[in-house]
Amino acid sequence: MTPSTADHPQMPVEDFEQLARTAPETVTLEFINGKLEVKPVPDGDHGAIIMWLLRQCMQQRPELALYPEQGLKTEKYRKGRSRPDGSLVPEDHFVGQGEWADPDGVLMAVEVTSRDPDTDRRDRVEKRDGYAAAEIPVYLLIDRDACTIAVYSEPENGKYRGRMSYPYGAVVEIPAPVRITLETEKLKDYTH
C-alpha cells in the first residue's frame, strides 16, 4: 500500500471538508500532507498561552486580531487544511470566508505544541512547511517541551529561510510584517 502524501492523498480535499463539517465537537480534524489528522483537545496551559499571546498582540497592534482555530487552506496549491492555534490578521479579515479561509493576508500562524506523540512531526515539521508553502510571512512555534519560542520568517519555495529560537524568559522580536515584541517570562508559569 502506498503511504499518503500531498501527491497521493488519503482522500480528495472535498471529502475531507465534508468529514470535518460532520465531526463531533470533541474532535478537531486537519488534512496535513495528504493525511487525515486529529488535533488534540488543548489543555489549560495551552489555552493560557494562547490568551497570553492574544493580549500581547492586542496591546501592541490593536488593528490586528489573533483568531484561534480558524481553518486555513495551506500547503502547495492550497490542498492542505490546517487549524492553527492562532492566525494573526487585520481585524475582520476572515469575515465572509467560511470554515476554510484562504491564507492570503495572514501575517502570522501560531502553534503551541501539545502533549502528544505526533506534535514533533505535525507542529515542528508538517505544519511549518505547509504555512511556508502558503507564504504566510511568519510562523511562531511555542514549544512547551523544549520551553522555547521559534520564529520562522521569509517563506521561499515552500520553506522558511529565517529561523530564530529563544528560551522562555527571553525578549522575542517578531519581524515584519508583524512587528511585535514578546516578553516571554510569563511562559515559565505554564510549564507543567
| pLDDT tens per residue, range 114-126 | 776 666 566 677 8
Q: Which residues of 113-158 form beta strands (DSSP E)? A: 138-143, 148-156
Residue type, 37: E
- Give me the residues paired with residue 110 across strands: 86, 140
Identify the pLDDT of residue 75: 81
- 42-190 topology per CATH: tt1808, chain A (3.90.1570)
Q: Domain residue spans in the chain? A: 42-190
Nearest CA-CA partner of 142 in 150, 133, 152, 154: 150
User: pLDDT (tens digit, 9 = 90+) per residue, 50-97?
Assistant: 999 999 999 999 999 999 989 999 987 778 898 899 999 999 999 999
Q: Given a cut of 60, is residue 3 above it in pLDDT?
A: no
- Kindly report the number of other CB atoms within 10 A of residue 3's CB atom: 8
Burial of 22 (0-12, 13-18, 19+ CB in 10 A): exposed
